[in-house]
Amino acid sequence: MLGLIADPVRQACDDDPRERSPDGIAWPIVHFIIMGCGRVGATLAQSLESRGHSVAVIDQNPEAFRRLDAAFDGKRVTGLGFDRETLIQAGVEDAYAFAAVSDGDNSNILAARVVRETYGVGNVVARIYDPHRAEIYQRLGIPTVATVRWTADQVLRRMLPMGATDEYRDASGQILMAQMDTHPGWIGHALVSIEKATGARVAYVTRYGDGVLPTPTTVLQENDVLHVLLQATDMARVERVLTHVPTGVK
């Protein structure tokens, strides 16, 4: 008889709409809307669905949905991403986040603003090809991914022997996180010493492909990739310090 009695704890877990990772941590399952079913949009949609989330993809060209795998179970909505009827059909009223990644800057930013300002979706991001406009929208509080600038930064990183690459900027454009190259002379120095020498904060280091949060005793090792938080106006100075032999640093 005991085997027929439902376990209330297990039942509650089964009813809880959460995705579970292999380590047992529960993550909420939420709804995402992707505008633009190009390569980026299709990849995003399928990646989110593979994590157990609900996904709707919007594109004005129904042929674009062919980029989605046949097994994709999310919504395919034909229309404009800033059209209210289209957005409602895509489930914007229940959306956790919205990504505008079509090939049109104006359409992307307009859709992101409509979704955020009309429907109150706080998590929005727009892909922008023009880096100058991307900076303006960042200052307006609309997170953007400037495709041209990001690509150029990545190419430069592989061409130049030393330097820094923007990884994130806040909405004001004043605070940024950057990946910094370091002179070999910094190897073996504590990260706290690097902070004192540069005035920047070490956010984390990438070590053999894994992110490592710094502790007071963490030292920079060979092949570590340094990621620092700093004022945008300090970028050149911090870059100069880290790409030269350290002097007067304990």
Q: Where are the domains of the chain?
A: 2-150, 160-242
Which residues face 228 on adjacent strands? 178, 202
Which among 39, 15, 31 is positioned nearest to 92, based on CA atoms?
31
Superfamily of structural domain 160-242: Regulator of K+ conductance, C-terminal domain (3.30.70.1450)
Residues in the chain, pLDDT under 50: 1-18, 20-25
User: Tell me: domain 2-150, CATH 3.40.630.30, correct?
Assistant: no
Look at residue 159 in the predicted model and tell me its pLDDT. 53
Residue 124 · residue 100 · CB < 8 Å:
yes
CB 109 within 8 A of CB 128: yes
Question: Three-class SS of residue 240?
Answer: helix
Place of tokens 């009695």: 5
- Tell me the β-bridge partners of 115: none
pLDDT value of residue 5? 31
**pLDDT tens string 66-103:** 999 999 999 999 999 999 999 999 999 999 999 999 99
In angstroms, rounded to a whole number, what is the distance separating the alpha carbons of residues 97 and 91? 11
pLDDT of residue 18: 46
Quote the CA–CA distance of 50 and 156 in Å, as a whole number: 33
Q: How many Cα atoms within 13 Å fall on the side-chain side of residue 239?
A: 15
Q: How many CB atoms lie within 10 A of CB 15?
A: 8
Task: Tell me the two tokens of residue 39.
Answer: 């390569």
pLDDT value of residue 153: 60
| pLDDT value for 16 | 45
Q: Residues 98, 77: contact at Cβ < 8 Å?
A: no
What's phi and psi for 201, nearest 5 deg?
Answer: -110, 135
Q: What pLDDT does 189 receive?
A: 95
Q: Look at residues 62, 54, 118 and name the one whose alpha carbon lies nearest to residue 88.
A: 118
